[in-house]
Chain A
Amino acid sequence: MFSAFMLHAWIVATLVAVAAGCVGFFVVARRAAFAAHALPLGAFPGAAAASLMGVNEFWGLAGFAVLGVLAIGQLQRAGRREVASALWLASALALGVLLLGLSGRYAQSVYGLLFGDLLGIDTRQMAVVAGFSGLTVALVAWVARPLLLDSLSSELASAAGARAAALEFVFLGILALSTAIAVPVVGALLVFSLMVGPASAARAFTDRPWRSLAVAVGICLATVWSAIALAYVTNWPVGFFVGALSALCYAAGRLRGGTVALAQVA
């Protein structure tokens, strides 16, 4: 399980889990689950576009991630947030189908993009993921406080001198870049599950924001490590275990915080 062959998988998964935990804390605080799903998945036409133009896949992904941030940010102003994410995702995927058709690439790559393949990681990919995970954590640390205030109330953040619109773009940008780059390596599904489940569970264990972030990272690591171990033993896809385990985390969090939450609901 810890052979050289698996070593890259362990390292990459750990890096992705740390970044996903940090970003996930804000995804939950800002309730941006849909954007967290739409941005990485919506970057996939980038890969097809890159191969059509004969440039490195990385530029295509980054380009579409940025495009997604701009599109969602702009569409959000016109109406509802979740509508913006839905429209961007649908357009990006439709464009992806078109580009795949034109470039003659088989749609099978979509499968890899969704579910990833932790076993085929080479050193170069590992370095890219490491770089972007580090960048993500640094960016999160940089904007953490205004972003948290803005998540509570954008009016409060504006009153304190932060520019709410800019913060939203920064947040979406962090979300897009940190995930889109990791997606071809580990799959959109894995990143997304790691961002939503553990961070929502973490809320039930502490009332302090930064401690909650730390708990989220901890749960992410536990989830991804157990998932790899289970996948190794059963030979089933890692994504299945990550999805299932993070759903379990969420359920555990709900049960623990349940008494409070249900009293408020009633």
Chain B
Amino acid sequence: MDSICTWGHMGGFWCNQPVRVALAVGGGAALVCAVVGLSTVMRRQAFAGHALADVSGAGGSASYLLGINPLFGFLGMAAAAAGVMEWAQVREARERDLLTGVVLGAGLGLAALLLYLDMTVRNVSGAAITVLFGSMFTIPPSIVPVALIVAAAALGASALIFRPLLVSTLSIDLARAQGARVRTIARIHAMALALAVSLAAMTVGAILSTALLIGPAAAALQVARRPASALALAVLIGLAATWGGIALAYQSYYWTPGRGWPVSFFIVMLIVCAYLLASAVARRRSGSSATAPLSGCQEH
């Protein structure tokens, strides 16, 4: 590794300890989010994915109050919210968005209360900010083992339910006729989502968690024709955006001297660019395939 340190002014990038941690943690979050996000976007649960990130913040503030490991606070709250959404048994995607909205409202209300209690009871006032915008440069080493286990659990669950989830996303009736246990599958997916989102919210912040969950998957879904390639593309976009964003943020110290630009800004912008690019590709593709048979007819 040390030999890289001599490569121009980017040399310092590779040798900077916080940067290495950020590359690892951000990359891990991007990977888990891309995998879980793909099924989330397909099932039209993007709002739930975002809401869980916001709501898990309430767990973060609760953990300050209770004095427990914040990761458990995030996880517990996200799992509880996901449990409520699944337990309320809403089948129609559009109705589910309303329920998500209600859970989000209640969860944010709870966050407001807990932050208030943090301030009055515990006298922690920075809690609000830490909870809303996690930072990948300030991850305490103590949570790394738990974070790894959570990431592995989310990935494992996603792999386990990959196929039946696809069918039940296509049509619940088809899946049931085939003997798939659709409710079990939906519950496992909800828990995988809660794990992935709370992990991401804890490590990279609620904003980035939404962007990493929805953006790469949505971009991949625009252009991929089969599930496997969508998965590969989503992971690729997520990782590229995250690492590219970290590199750009590192560079930005040279643009506005003394003050770097936030990493989350670059990552989100890269993801949005990837999405726009993918939409443009999809549009061009559908445009060209629509005109091909027509021009064929004119030749006759």
Are A and B part of the same complex? yes
Any A CB within 8 A of the CB of B128: yes
B242: chain A residues within 8 A (beta carbon)? none
Known: A33-B47, A95-B265. A90 touches B113 (CB 8 A): no
Q: How large is the interface on A (under 10, 10 to 19, 20 to 34, 35 or more residues)?
A: 35 or more
Q: How far is the CA of A123 from the CA of B264 in the complex (A)?
A: 38
A7-15, A108-116, A124-132 - interface stretch: A108-116
A108: chain B residues within 8 A (beta carbon)? 128-129
Any A CB within 8 A of the CB of B95: yes
Which residue from chain A places its CB closest to the CB of B268 in the assembled complex? A94
Any A CB within 8 A of the CB of B80: no
| Contact pick for A98, options B91, B128, B262, CB 8 Å | B262
CB pair A94–B132 under 8 Å, yes or no, is no
CB pair B97–A90 under 8 Å, yes or no, is no
CB pair B50–A247 under 8 Å, yes or no, is no
CB pair B110–A31 under 8 Å, yes or no, is no
Q: How far is the CA of A90 from the CA of B207 in the complex (A)?
A: 6
A115: chain B residues within 8 A (beta carbon)? 108, 112, 115
CB pair A240–B105 under 8 Å, yes or no, is no
B259: chain A residues within 8 A (beta carbon)? 101-102
Which of chain B's residues 30-56 have a Cβ closer than 8 Å to chain A? 41, 44, 46-47, 49-51
Any A CB within 8 A of the CB of B169: no
Which of chain B's residues 215-253 have a Cβ closer than 8 Å to chain A? 215, 218, 221-222
Which residue from chain B places its CB closest to the CB of A243 in the assembled complex? B109
CB pair B279–A197 under 8 Å, yes or no, is no
CB pair A31–B112 under 8 Å, yes or no, is no
Q: How far is the CA of A114 from the CA of B107 in the complex (A)?
A: 12
A114: chain B residues within 8 A (beta carbon)? 108, 112, 132
| Contact pick for B265, options A82, A98, A192, CB 8 Å | A98
CB pair B128–A83 under 8 Å, yes or no, is no
Please give the distance in Å from A175's CB to the nearest CB on chain B: 13
Interface of B is mostly: helix
Which residue from chain B places its CB closest to the CB of A193 in the assembled complex? B105
Q: How far is the CA of A51 from the CA of B210 in the complex (A)?
A: 27
How many chain-B residues does the 8 Å CB contact rule pick out?
Answer: 60
Please give the distance in Å from A21's CB to the nearest CB on chain B: 15
A218: chain B residues within 8 A (beta carbon)? none
Known: A95-B265, A237-B116, A247-B105. A111 touches B218 (CB 8 A): no
Any A CB within 8 A of the CB of B94: yes
Any A CB within 8 A of the CB of B174: no
Question: Which residue among B88, B106, B132 has the maximum number of chain A CB atoms within 10 Å of its CB?
Answer: B106
Which of chain A's residues 164-206 have a Cβ closer than 8 Å to chain B? 189, 192-193, 196-197, 200
CB pair A193–B207 under 8 Å, yes or no, is no
A85: chain B residues within 8 A (beta carbon)? 46-47
Chain B residues proximal to chain A, CB less than 8 Å:
41, 44, 46-47, 49-51, 88-89, 91, 94-95, 97-110, 112-113, 115-116, 128-129, 132-133, 207-208, 210-211, 213-215, 218, 221-222, 256, 259, 261-262, 264-265, 267-269, 271-272, 275-276, 279, 282-283
30 CB < 8 A contacts A-B: A33-B47, A34-B47, A37-B51, A78-B275, A78-B276, A80-B46, A82-B46, A83-B218, A86-B47, A86-B49, A87-B214, A87-B218, A94-B208, A94-B211, A97-B262, A97-B264, A98-B265, A107-B132, A110-B129, A111-B128, A114-B108, A115-B108, A193-B102, A197-B101, A200-B98, A239-B113, A240-B110, A244-B110, A246-B102, A254-B88
Chain A residues proximal to chain B, CB less than 8 Å:
28, 31, 33-34, 36-37, 78-80, 82-83, 85-87, 89-91, 93-95, 97-98, 101-102, 107-108, 110-111, 114-115, 189, 192-193, 196-197, 200, 236-237, 239-244, 246-247, 250, 254, 262, 265
